[in-house]
């Protein structure tokens, strides 16, 4: 891909609405994410933040509105959608490593099957990525033999192997034991420093302060507030955000 010099956002959601039956989970969402920007989405549970994250690679379909990635509208299904998803990395709360494949195979599958790389090239790159996230020596094990923190770092390597334009993180540390959270956040922080465009749904306020360019606060399916971390954490403008922050920051 050639870099576009224009200030056009890499990801743009406009007028996005989604319902689960009667429940209006996403209400008129407008959000633009620039190249290299790190956006952290926070909010109480049930606010729609995970759903928002999952609409960006259409793991969740939307009922109305439009989502574009790098100027291209999200295809509805089929091979076009698969091709677009290959450019959007995703890291799940529950890791979702392929249980019957080794760590190395988890990382090489996409490059071989989707990018049509040779096995040798894919393995070379996969080993580099696994070293980068600190699990290079585990390459021949299967996922269940690794700790949660290690599995999540493998999941990040698996997504990076596709050379994505943007990385989505859906509560990447919520299923981890406390002592493993930092090893994953450190990898994410270094990714952010390297200029990766990231959308991160998380409850880790320390990470938001440290790595985010912007914090988006959601409540009841709406984006209530969007601000730089410093402003958001010290002087939130909405009552709802003040209330939320007082509950999570006062202990």
Partner 1 sequence: MQFFTDNFPLLRDAFLTTLGLSLLAGLLALVLGTVLAAMRVSPIPPLRGLATFYVETFRNTPLTVVFFFIIFGLPQIDFVVSFFVGAVVSVGMYTAAFVAEALRSGINAVGPGQAEAARAIGLTFGQSLREIVLPQAFRTVVPPLGNVWIAMVKNTSIAAGFATTELAATLPRLANANAGDILLILLAVVVGYMLITVPSAYGIHRIERRVAILR
Nearest to 16 by CA among 54, 56, 63: 63
* 173 contacts 202 by C-beta, under 8 angstroms: yes
Q: Which is nearer to partner 1, 12 or 158 (CB)?
A: 158
Tell whether residue 97 is a contact of partner 1 (CB under 8 A). Answer: yes
Tell whether residue 100 is a contact of partner 1 (CB under 8 A). Answer: yes
DSSP string, 170-206: ESTTTTS-HHHHHHHHHHHHHHHHTT-EEEEE-S-HH
Tell whether residue 142 is a contact of partner 1 (CB under 8 A). Answer: yes
Among 12, 49, 153, 158, binds partner 1 (CB under 8 A): 158
Helices 119-132 and 103-113 meet at what angle, rounded to 10? Answer: 130
Which of the ranges 87-95, 203-211, 212-220, 225-233 carries the binding residues for partner 1, by CB under 8 A? 87-95
Shortest distance (Å) from residue 77 CB to partner 1: 7
The residue count of the chain comes to 251
Which of the ranges 20-28, 43-51, 96-104, 216-224 carries the binding residues for partner 1, by CB under 8 A? 96-104
Residue list 186-215, contact with partner 1 (CB under 8 A): none
Tell whether residue 114 is a contact of partner 1 (CB under 8 A). Answer: yes
Nearest to 28 by CA among 57, 48, 8: 48
Shortest distance (Å) from residue 244 CB to partner 1: 28
Tell whether residue 57 is a contact of partner 1 (CB under 8 A). Answer: yes
Cα distances (angstroms) measured from residue 194 to each of 37, 69, 187, 191, 224: 11, 20, 11, 5, 29
Which of the ranges 3-11, 118-126, 142-150, 209-217 carries the binding residues for partner 1, by CB under 8 A? 142-150
Among 98, 131, 235, 242, binds partner 1 (CB under 8 A): 98
Distance CA 164, CA 171 (A): 19
Distance CA 130, CA 160 (A): 10
Q: Which is nearer to partner 1, 88 or 187 (CB)?
A: 88
Q: Residue 58: which region, alpha, beta or left (left: phi > 0; alpha: psi -120 to 50)?
A: left
Tell whether residue 79 is a contact of partner 1 (CB under 8 A). Answer: yes
Shortest distance (Å) from residue 233 CB to partner 1: 31
Nearest to 169 by CA among 160, 179, 161: 160
Cα distances (angstroms) measured from residue 77 to each of 9, 17, 82, 142, 228: 23, 18, 8, 31, 35
Among 133, 159, 200, 205, binds partner 1 (CB under 8 A): 159
Q: Rule CB under 8 A: which residues touch partner 1?
A: 57, 59, 77-79, 82-90, 92, 94, 96-100, 109-110, 113-114, 142-145, 155, 158-159, 162
């Amino acid at each position: 891909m050639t870099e576009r010099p224009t200030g056009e956002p890499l990801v743009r959601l406009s007028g996005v609405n989604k319902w689960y039956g009667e429940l209006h989970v996403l209400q008129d969402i407008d959000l633009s994410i620039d190249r290299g920007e790190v956006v952290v989405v926070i909010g109480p549970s049930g606010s729609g933040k995970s759903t928002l994250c999952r609409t960006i690679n259409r793991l969740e379909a939307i009922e109305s509105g439009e989502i574009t990635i790098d100027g291209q509208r999200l295809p509805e299904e089929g091979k076009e959608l698969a091709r677009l998803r290959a450019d959007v990395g995703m890291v799940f709360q529950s890791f979702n490593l392929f249980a019957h494949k080794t760590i190395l195979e988890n990382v090489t599958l996409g490059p071989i099957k989707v990018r049509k790389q040779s096995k040798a090239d894919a393995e070379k790159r996969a080993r580099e990525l696994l070293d980068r996230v600190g699990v290079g020596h585990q390459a021949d094990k299967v996922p269940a033999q690794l700790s949660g923190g290690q599995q999540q770092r493998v999941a990040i390597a698996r997504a990076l192997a596709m050379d994505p334009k943007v990385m989505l993180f859906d509560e990447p540390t919520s299923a981890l034991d406390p002592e493993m959270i930092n090893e994953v956040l450190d990898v994410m922080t270094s990714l952010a420093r390297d200029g990766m465009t990231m959308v991160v749904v998380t409850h880790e306020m320390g990470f938001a302060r440290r790595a985010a360019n912007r914090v988006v606060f959601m409540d009841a399916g709406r984006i209530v507030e969007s601000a730089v971390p410093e402003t958001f954490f010290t002087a939130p403008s909405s009552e709802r955000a003040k209330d939320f922050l007082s509950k999570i920051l006062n202990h």
